[in-house]
Structure 1
Amino acid sequence: MCTCLPGYDLTGVMETRWDGSYDWSVGMEGYRLFRKDQQGRGGGGVTLYVSDQLECMELCLGMDEEPTESLWVRIKGRAGTGDTIVGVCYGPPDQEDRMDEALYRQMGAASCSQALVLMGDFNHPNICWTDNIGGHKQSRRFLEHVHDNFFLQVTEDPTRRGAMLDLVLTSKEGLVGNVKLKGNLGCSDHETVEFKILRTARRAHSKLLALDFTRADFGPFRDLLGRI
């Protein structure tokens, strides 16, 4: 799944199936590359391309956890806007519970951000997002975590053979818009998901004025009270 095609600010890809032999060919001019390769399996791997016009840094969430196929990048906001954390995740259909829980702890840590966008192939085809019902234990656990962290799921249409496997989660209503399916990319049998991350206003700092009564002239107040 990609957030966008080349020429946009961000491009995320799941199931890259890369290893060190691909180092020479995976770069893209004008973009900084972040990647987490497959973990000793025949599939998996995630990648995020970020335009070199954006200031960004990778976040180390859950470094002491099980090695999940996920990565997290903080995108610095432009003038007048706050930062945004962008996550990319792949959840294999046969993933063990301990790996799921490690990923959920990372998601929980990232949810502390005011602006979070998480895209991924989570492989939960039996979730009904209209009724928020999961058909299996793993799906119900995933839904529980989504609700506990107040995530919003904004993908509406199936992305692979009638199933909604590829999701876009956000921590804030209105942060993600214009979600569209754009057909298959290359030989992938998943739909490309394109969307916009809307700029977030920087949190306003309130100011409290404290009056200095030691410098006040109380004479007029005494005269006024004396006339009552």
Structure 2
Amino acid sequence: MEDFSHPDICWRDNTAGHKQSRKFLECSDDNFLPQVLREPMRRSAMLDLVLTNKKGLVGNVKLKGSLGCSDHEMVEFKILRAVRRAHSKLTTLDFRRADFGLFRDLLGRVPWDKALEGRGPQESWLVFKDHLLQAQE
């Protein structure tokens, strides 16, 4: 969680007006870091973000009003899975056991012309990434 100064980012559409903001969006997408906060903070700008590296890890995100005279909103959220350092397991893909034929088949079933029709490069990447991650599971 952090205060980011990219008020021109539209997180719903995954677009931005300024080059630096577009680079930030690109970086968060390339590193699979979705933004989970959905409510704007200040004057409809979403400057305080909650980024996570795992879907379902963060939930119950709420704005709780400002603290004192600050122009920032307090953000409350819950980490939904307890992580124990001593017993935590890092999930990695075992490519030796992968069924690449099935993977190719699942991605081949997607009607890509229809799925990407009318979308720009950023939106197309998000659609492709979503299908790729679904096939991976």
Is TM-score (shorter-chain normalized) higher than 0.5? Answer: yes
**More strand per residue:** 1
Q: Is the 8 A contact 1:181 1:191 kept in 2?
A: yes
**Does residue 22 of structure 2 align to residue 140 of structure 1?**
yes
Percent identity for Structure 1 against Structure 2 = 69
SS where residue 51 of structure 2 aligns? strand
**Does residue 89 of structure 2 align to residue 203 of structure 1?**
yes
In 2, the alpha carbon distance for the partners of 1:200 and 1:148 equals 26
Which 5+ residue runs of structure 1 have no aligned equivalent?
Answer: 1-118, 206-228
Partner of 2:11: 129
In 1, the alpha carbon distance for the partners of 2:65 and 2:43 equals 12
**What's the CA shift for 1:204?**
8.0
Which 5+ residue runs of structure 2 have no aligned equivalent?
Answer: 92-137
AA partner of residue 170 (structure 1): T
AA partner of residue 144 (structure 1): E
| TM-score, structure 1 as length reference | 0.36
| TM-score, structure 2 as length reference | 0.59
SS where residue 163 of structure 1 aligns? coil
**More helix per residue:** 2
**Does residue 53 of structure 2 align to residue 171 of structure 1?**
yes
**What's the CA shift for 1:174?**
0.5
**What's the CA shift for 1:203?**
2.6
In 2, the alpha carbon distance for the partners of 1:123 and 1:204 equals 32
Partner of 1:149: 31
SS where residue 139 of structure 1 aligns? helix
Q: Is the 8 A contact 1:124 1:165 kept in 2?
A: yes
**What's the CA shift for 1:172?**
0.1
**What's the CA shift for 1:200?**
4.4
Q: Is the 8 A contact 1:175 1:200 kept in 2?
A: no
In 2, the alpha carbon distance for the partners of 1:142 and 1:204 equals 27
In 2, the alpha carbon distance for the partners of 1:183 and 1:193 equals 8
Q: Structure 1 pair 131/204, CA: closer, same or farther in 2 (3 Å)?
A: closer
In 1, the alpha carbon distance for the partners of 2:53 and 2:90 equals 19
SS where residue 133 of structure 1 aligns? coil
Q: Is the 8 A contact 1:183 1:191 kept in 2?
A: yes
**Does residue 75 of structure 2 align to residue 189 of structure 1?**
no
